[in-house]
Amino acid sequence: MTVVAIFAVGIAGQLLGGRLRVPSVIFYLGGGLLLGEVGIGLISLDTFGAGLTTVVGLSVAVIVFDGAFALRLDRIRAAETASLRLVTVGALITLVGTAVAVRLLTGTAWDLAFLIGALLVATGPTVITPIVTVVRLRPHVSAALETEGIVNDVTAAIAAVVIFEEILLREAFGPNTLLAFAERLGVGVASGLLAAGATYYLLREELLPGDGTRSARFTVLLAAIGAYGVADTVSAEAGVAAVATAGLVLANVDIPHRETIESFTEDMTLLLLAFVFVSLAALVDVEAVLGLGVAGIALVAVLMLVIRPVVALISTAGIEQFTWSERLFLSAVGPRGIIPASVATLFAIELAAGGDDAAAATLLGAVFIVIFATDAIEAGFARQIGDALGVTPMRMIIVGGGRVGRSLATQLENRNEFVVIVDNDPEQCEKTREAGFQVVTGDGTEAATLSKAGIDEAKGLVAVTADDDINLLICQTAMTKFDLDDVYARVNNTENVEKFESLGVIAVDEPQAAAYALDNQIERPALARWMNDLGDGHDIIEIEMTAEHIAGKSIRELTDEIPGGCLIAEIGRGDDAHVPDADETIEYGDRITFLGDSAAVKKAVGRFHPHD
C-alpha cells in the first residue's frame, strides 16, 4: 500500500501539473510531506531500509539518461557559450558563494559548508524538464537550462562525494582530492562510452532478438542502469557521469527506433521521477529545516537573489542572442532537484550513524529548505515569471518540413518569430533539425500532434505540404478543434483555392504566387531583389498600433517617434488600406506597415506596438 500511495500521489501530481500548467515537482513535494512523518506517517526511513540507496540510484540513472538523450548537439550549439559558462564559471561561483553564505549564516565548519555548496550547484533534468515543458522558451534559452542541468548534476554529485569522503571524513584537502574527482569523472565517462558503443552496435547491426522496437527499448534501459551500476561499483557517484555520457552519445548518433526509445524513456522517467521525489520529500526532517530559522531564510534569499542572478548575467554577458528578459528569466529560474535531495539524505544518514547529529541536521536543513523554496517559487511560478518577462513567444506552427516549409521558417525566424515545424517523415525531420529548427515528429492532421507542437499558444498555423487534401484537413483540425483564427495554406492546385477560402483559410495559390514573383522580377527587378532579401539588413513589417500616447496624432507630429531609416508605407483601417500623407492621423488599432532598415523597423515596431 505504501508503494501504491507513492505512485498515486506522483501520478496525481503529474495530472495536476498538466492541468494547471505548473511544473509537477511542487505537487511531488507536497504529496511527499503528506505521506511522511510530518503528515500521516506512512513513509519513514524504515520503509526502505538498506535499499534506499539502490532505489534512488537506479531511478536517478534512468532520469539523467533520459535528460541527456534529449540533448542533441545542435540544441547545445544554440547556446554553447552560455552553457559552457554556466557549467564552469557559473558552477564555481555557485559552489563557493553558497559555501561562504552557509558558513557566515549558520556558523558551521568550512568542510560541511563546501559540501552543502557542492550539492546545491545541481539543478538537473528532474526540475528543468517540467519547466521547459510548461514554459515555451526560445531554443537557446531552454538549451542553456537543460545543458546546465545535465552537466551540473554530474559534477555536483561527484564533487559532493569527493568533499564528503576526502575532506569531511579524512579532514584533508590537497592533490588527492582533485585526483579523486578526476578519477570518478573518468570512470563514469569511460563506462558511459562503453555502454553507448555496445548499444549502438547492437541496434545498428540489428542483433537483438524478437521484435526490434521492443528489444531496442529494453536494450537502452539496460545500457542506462548497467552503465550506472558498473561505474558506481568501481567509484561512488561515477554512475551519474556514466549515464549522462551514454545518453549524450546515443542522442547524437544515428540509431534505429529513436522515436520509440524517446517515448519509452520519457514514460519511465515520469514514473520514476514521481516515485523518487515523493519518497525523498516524505523523508525530510522538517525539524531540521525549521531549526535553521532566520539563517535558512537568509540562505535562500542569497542563493535566489544574489548568487543565481550573478551566475546568469555573467554566463550571458556579451551574447546578443539573449535578450535582457531572457537573462532575467535565467536569473529567476534555478530550482534544485533530485541529486542534492538524494545525496544529502544518504550523507545525513551516514553522519547521524557516526554520531554527528548536528552536522546531519544542518546538511538536511540547508539543502531541503533551498529545494523547497526554489521549487515552490522558481519552478512553481516559472510560467508566470516567463509571462511577466515576455520570454514566452507566441509560436508559428508550420506543417510540412520540405523546402517550402524550411524556407518559410527561415524568413519567419529572421523576424524573430518562434517557429515549430511538424512533419511525419523521419528523414525530413532530421534535415530540418540539422538546419537548426525546432521539430515535432508526427502527423499534422492529428490533434495530438498539433497539441504537442504547442498550438494552444500559437499565433498561427501554416500548412505547406505538397498535398492539398492533407493541407485542408490540417487547417480544419486547427480551426475546429483548437479555435485558431490565423490559419494559412499552400494550395498546389488552383482549382482548390475556393475550398480553402470557404473555410476562412488564407490560401496562397502556388502557381499564381510563382507568376507574381516572375512578373516582379521582369517589371520591378530592384524591388523584387529587395523583397527577396528581407531580413538581410532591411525589412517590411505590418503591426497593429497599440501605443496609447501615439493615438490621435498625425505622422507629421510623430516625426521623432519614427526612427531614421524607416517610413510608414501603408495604413490600414477597416477594409481600407492606403499610403498616408504627412497629415494622416494614426488611431489606436490601425494596421501600420513599416519599411526600411531592419534595426530602424524593429525600433519603430517596439514604439508603435508595445503591447500584444
| pLDDT, tens digit (0-9, with 9 covering 90-100), for 248-292 | 898 888 888 887 888 888 888 888 888 888 887 887 778 888 888
Instruction: Check residue 88 and give its pLDDT.
Output: 92
Question: With 90 as the cut, is the pLDDT of residue 219 above it?
Answer: no
Residues 489 and 558 in one domain: no
pLDDT-derived band at 312, boundaries 50, 70, 90: very high
User: DSSP 3-state helix, strand, coil percentages of the chain (rounded to 5)?
Assistant: 65, 10, 25
Residues 178 and 122 in one domain: yes
Q: How far is it, in rounded angstroms, from Cα 577 to Cα 560?
A: 24
pLDDT-derived band at 476, boundaries 50, 70, 90: very high
Per DSSP, the three-state class of 524 is coil
Instruction: Check residue 533 and give its pLDDT.
Output: 61
pLDDT-derived band at 102, boundaries 50, 70, 90: very high
Residue 104, C-beta contacts closer than 8 angstroms, at least 6 positions apart: none
Percent with pLDDT over 70 in the chain: 94
Residues 297 and 341 in one domain: yes
What strand order describes the sheet that includes 487-491? 438-441, 418-423, 395-399, 458-463, 487-491, 506-509
Nearest to 115, CA basis, from 76, 69, 171? 171
407 burial (CB, 10 Å; 0-12 / 13-18 / 19+) is exposed
Q: How far is it, in rounded angstroms, from Cα 260 to Cα 269?
A: 14
Report in angstroms the alpha-carbon separations of 274 from 3, 285, 420: 11, 20, 29
pLDDT-derived band at 479, boundaries 50, 70, 90: very high
Report in angstroms the alpha-carbon separations of 375 from 69, 186, 191, 527: 24, 32, 32, 54
What mean pLDDT value characterizes the chain? 84
Instruction: Check residue 534 and give its pLDDT.
Output: 54
As a whole number, mean pLDDT of residues 146-151 equals 87
When mean pLDDT is compared across 343-352, 378-387, 499-508, the lowest value belongs to: 343-352
Residues 250 and 311 in one domain: yes
Nearest to 146, CA basis, from 89, 86, 192? 86
Residues present in the chain in total: 612
Question: With 70 as the cut, is the pLDDT of residue 611 above it?
Answer: no
pLDDT-derived band at 32, boundaries 50, 70, 90: confident
As a whole number, mean pLDDT of residues 469-493 equals 93
Tell me the residue range of the domain where 264 lies.
1-42+53-389
Give the rounded distance of the alpha carbon of 178 from its chain centre. Answer: 32
In a domain, 468, yes or no: yes
pLDDT-derived band at 114, boundaries 50, 70, 90: very high
Distance from the first to the final alpha carbon of the chain? 50
Residues 422 and 401 in one domain: yes
CATH code of residue 23 = 1.20.1530.20
Residues 375 and 463 in one domain: no
pLDDT-derived band at 523, boundaries 50, 70, 90: confident
pLDDT-derived band at 375, boundaries 50, 70, 90: confident
Pull the grid cell for residue 65.
539518461
Q: How many domains does the chain have?
A: 3
Residues 577 and 462 in one domain: no
What angle is formed at CA 469 by the lines to CA 463 and CA 475, rounded to 5 degrees? 40
Q: How far is it, in rounded angstroms, from Cα 187 to Cα 239?
A: 8
As a whole number, mean pLDDT of residues 27-37 equals 85
At position 449, the amino acid (one-letter code) is T
Last residue of one domain, picked from the residues 514, 545, 570:
514
Where is pLDDT greater, at 370 or 522? Answer: 370
Question: With 90 as the cut, is the pLDDT of residue 460 above it?
Answer: yes
Instruction: Check residue 313 and give its pLDDT.
Output: 94
Residues 602 and 485 in one domain: no
Residues 357 and 439 in one domain: no
CATH code of residue 436 = 3.40.50.720
Pull the grid cell for residue 106.
549558520
Long-range contact pairs involving 212-218 (C-beta distance under 8 Å, separation at least 24) = 212/256, 212/257, 213/257, 213/260, 216/255, 216/256, 216/257, 216/260, 216/261, 217/257, 217/260, 217/261, 217/264
Residues 77 and 217 in one domain: yes
Where is pLDDT greater, at 343 or 506? Answer: 506
